[in-house]
C-alpha cells in the first residue's frame, strides 16, 4: 500500500517501508522530516493518532524530535509501527490461571520465534568473540544478521497476544532489540579495531545496560597507578 506525500512539500523525499500488523505500507516523506512528522502522515491513512503510535527503526523506538536522516532512515528503510495501548483499568484485569485456546496458540507462536532468535543469538555471540579477538569480520555478516533479527521482530508484531502470551512476546521483543543494538556496537568496533582504550571502556559501559546480558562487554576493573602510590608515600618523608 502506498501513502502519497502531501501537496506543497518541497525538497527531496524518501520512500520508507512501514510495517503495521499484517500490512506493509510505502510512505513518501521529506528526507529532512522528523519521526513526529512521519507519525502525522501515517495518522491520515491508518486513523491512529500520533500519540498512540510507536515507531521502531533498527530495533529502537524513535522519539518524535529525532530526524529521519540523522537516524540513518534513508530511501527504502524499513520501520515497525506498533500501537501504544492505553493502560486504563490494567489493575482491574485478573488473568485466569488456565490458558484459553487463543492464548495457547499465541504462546506457541512466540516459542517458535524464540527458537529462531536462539540460533541468531548464537551467531551474534560468535561474531562478538571474533571482534574481541581482533579478527576482521565482513560488514555483510552484521547486515545479514540484523535483517534476520528484524524479520523475527515483524513476526512478533503479528502475534495477537494477551496475558502471559503478551508478556512473553514483550520479553522476546526486548531481547531482539538488544541483539540488534549489540550488532550495531560490534560493527562499529569491527570498523575501528585499533581505537584507544578509553573508547573501548566507553563501549563496554554502554553494553552493561542490557537486561539480557547478550553481547555484554564488561569493562576491566580500575587499577591504581603505582606512581600515585609512590607519591603518597613521599609525603611521609
DSSP per-residue codes, 174-199: HHHHHHHHHHHHHHHHHH-TT--HHH
Long-range contacts of 139-146 (CB under 8 A, 24+ apart): 139/187, 139/190, 139/191, 142/183, 142/186, 142/187, 142/190, 145/120, 145/183, 146/58, 146/180, 146/183, 146/184
Q: What is the DSSP letter of 7?
A: T
* Residue 6, helix vs strand vs coil: coil
CATH number listed for the domain at residues 13-83: 3.10.20.90
pTM: 0.42
- Is the pLDDT confidence value at 151 over 80? yes
Which residue in this structure is represented by grid cell 522476546?
A: 172
pLDDT for res 11: 64
Name the grid cell of 64.
Answer: 518524535
pLDDT of 69-115, one tens digit each? Answer: 898 888 889 888 888 765 555 444 444 444 457 777 888 888 889 98
Identify the sign of the CA torsion 143, 146, 148, 151. negative
Greater confidence (5 vs 21) lies with 21
DSSP 3-state of 53: strand
Does the pLDDT at position 202 exceed 50?
A: no
Per-domain boundaries in the chain: 13-83, 97-191
Cell (9 digits) for 14: 524518501
In angstroms, rounded to a whole number, what is the distance separating the alpha carbons of residues 127 and 166?
31
Q: Which fold has domain 97-191?
A: Methane Monooxygenase Hydroxylase; Chain G, domain 1 (1.20.58)
- Please give the average per-residue pLDDT across 223-237, as a whole number: 42
The answer to whether residue 187 scores a pLDDT higher than 80 is yes
Q: How many CB atoms lie within 10 A of CB 206?
A: 13
Handedness of CA 7, 8, 13, 19 (dihedral sign): negative
pLDDT at res. 232 = 46
Amino acid at each position: 500500500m502506498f501513502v502519497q506525500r502531501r501537496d506543497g512539500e518541497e525538497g527531496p523525499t524518501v520512500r520508507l517501508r512501514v510495517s503495521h500488523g499484517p500490512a506493509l505500507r510505502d510512505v513518501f516523506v521529506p528526507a529532512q522530516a522528523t519521526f513526529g512528522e512521519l507519525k502525522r502522515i501515517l495518522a491520515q491513512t491508518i486513523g491512529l493518532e500520533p500519540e498512540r503510535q510507536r515507531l521502531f527503526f533498527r530495533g529502537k523506538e524513535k522519539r518524535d524530535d529525532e530526524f529521519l536522516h540523522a537516524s540513518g532512515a534513508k530511501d527504502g528503510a524499513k520501520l515497525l509501527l506498533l500501537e501504544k495501548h492505553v493502560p486504563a483499568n490494567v489493575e482491574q484485569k485478573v488473568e485466569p490461571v488456565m490458558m484459553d485456546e487463543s492464548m495457547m496458540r499465541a504462546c506457541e507462536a512466540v516459542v517458535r520465534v524464540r527458537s529462531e532468535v536462539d540460533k541468531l543469538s548464537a551467531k551474534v555471540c560468535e561474531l562478538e568473540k571474533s571482534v574481541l579477538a581482533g579478527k576482521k569480520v565482513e560488514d555483510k555478516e552484521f547486515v545479514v544478521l540484523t535483517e534476520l533479527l528484524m524479520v523475527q521482530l515483524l513476526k512478533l508484531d503479528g502475534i495477537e497476544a494477551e496475558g502471559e502470551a503478551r508478556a512473553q512476546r514483550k520479553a522476546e521483543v526486548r531481547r531482539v532489540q538488544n541483539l540488534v543494538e549489540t550488532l550495531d556496537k560490534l560493527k562499529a568496533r569491527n570498523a575501528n579495531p585499533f581505537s584507544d582504550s578509553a573508547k573501548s571502556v566507553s563501549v563496554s559501559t554502554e553494553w552493561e545496560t542490557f537486561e539480557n546480558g547478550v553481547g555484554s562487554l564488561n569493562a576491566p576493573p580500575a587499577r591504581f597507578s603505582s606512581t600515585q602510590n609512590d607519591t603518597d608515600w613521599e609525603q611521609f618523608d
